[in-house]
Structure 1
Amino acid sequence: MANFEASVQLTGTPEQIFEFLIDTDNILKISPPDTGLSFTNKPDKLYQGAILEFKIQGFGKVQEGTHEIIKFESPELYTEKQISGPLKHYVHEHHVVANGENEVTVIDRLEFEPPSGLLGFLITETKLLDLFDEGFYHRHNALKALFS
């Protein structure tokens, strides 16, 4: 199992940041445009047990996926797990940590495993780490523009 972690410092309360992050329309606003992320089924806001069905552009084709929110502790944490999708395993923890008055750190922790078989030769751990690095760089800069 491979891991990835990225974090960003923001101005706001944990409640403000958490509420922004669980609004599924906001997920689209902070996602890199070149991923082509679109939801085919989603709630307005995330909650324990929520299901997200989506399409995303990756490795030259549109990939479909389904994630479930398996842990939800407002306003500190929610965790999404891939139910179906291109990776063999994918869990994403979204942490919101108070650093003092009106200062918050958002920490994204991923645990993943590249696909097996022939696809695994193209979608390697190294390629995925590079994609995650680029994607969270964009996401965190978008959050800083909104909360700084």
Structure 2
Amino acid sequence: MKHPPIEICFDLSRSIDLHKISTKQTGEEAIEGVTSGLISLNETVTWRAKHFGVWQKLITKITEYQRPIFFADEMVKGAFKAFRHEHHFEEIGEETLMIDYFEFQSPFGIVGKLVNRIVLIEYMTNMLEIRNQVIKEAAESDKWKELLNETEIGW
């Protein structure tokens, strides 16, 4: 098993193309903003996906960026009242540790909090686990070379 450098893991995590692969079960598609390649600071992407049988749009923006150790994306517009997804990366020996912090608020007050407990926390955790497994598989194989353009990543 290869231990990919932190830069590969970081760039795969901000790859629109890899995101589409990791969310194929929801038919997720980037339809506006950055629709392929790598997303960077202050850039947005509009996602269209089917969740719980309903087509939804979600606009996110990269609000913080410190390559190759951290970036955050936040919802600009969508079904949530708010959400923030932090991506942290750390080199430990020859390995790269990725840690996600995902905070969200559902609309509809107490009903939204109940839906979070019953459905959304598990649903969102599962989506992140699938996404991170796809990142890991791409990073530890040569698939990352198909997803990352050397001139775009700058190394």
Which of the five TM-score ranges fits, normalised by the shorter chain? 0.7 to 0.9
Please give the residue correspondences for 1:47-126 in structure 2 after superposition, counting only pairs within 5 Å.
Answer: 47-101=40-94, 103-116=95-108, 120=112, 124-126=115-117
Q: Distance in 2 between matches of 1:117 and 1:99?
A: 41
Deviates more, 1:74-83 or 1:127-136: 127-136
Q: Please, which runs of 5 or more residues in structure 1 have no aligned partner?
A: 1-9
**Out of 20, 24, 28, which is 2:20 matched to?**
28
1:40 offset after TM fit, Å? 0.6
3-state secondary structure, aligned to 2:79:
coil
Match of 2:149 in 1: none
TM-score, length of structure 2 as denominator length: 0.78
Q: Distance in 1 between matches of 2:81 and 2:108?
A: 7
1:16 offset after TM fit, Å? 1.4
TM-score, length of structure 1 as denominator length: 0.82
- Root-mean-square deviation (CA), in Å? 2.1
Match of 1:138 in 2: 130
1:118 offset after TM fit, Å? 10
Q: Which amino acid aligns with 1:38?
A: E
Q: Which amino acid aligns with 1:132?
A: M
Q: Which amino acid aligns with 1:98?
A: E
Q: Distance in 1 between matches of 2:42 and 2:80?
A: 21
Q: Distance in 2 between matches of 1:83 and 1:138?
A: 24
3-state secondary structure, aligned to 1:124:
helix
1:117 offset after TM fit, Å? 6.4
Q: Please, which runs of 5 or more residues in structure 2 have no aligned partner?
A: 141-155
Q: Distance in 2 between matches of 1:110 and 1:117?
A: 19
Q: Distance in 2 between matches of 1:51 and 1:119?
A: 30
Q: Which amino acid aligns with 1:53?
A: T
The structure with the largest helix share of the pair is 2
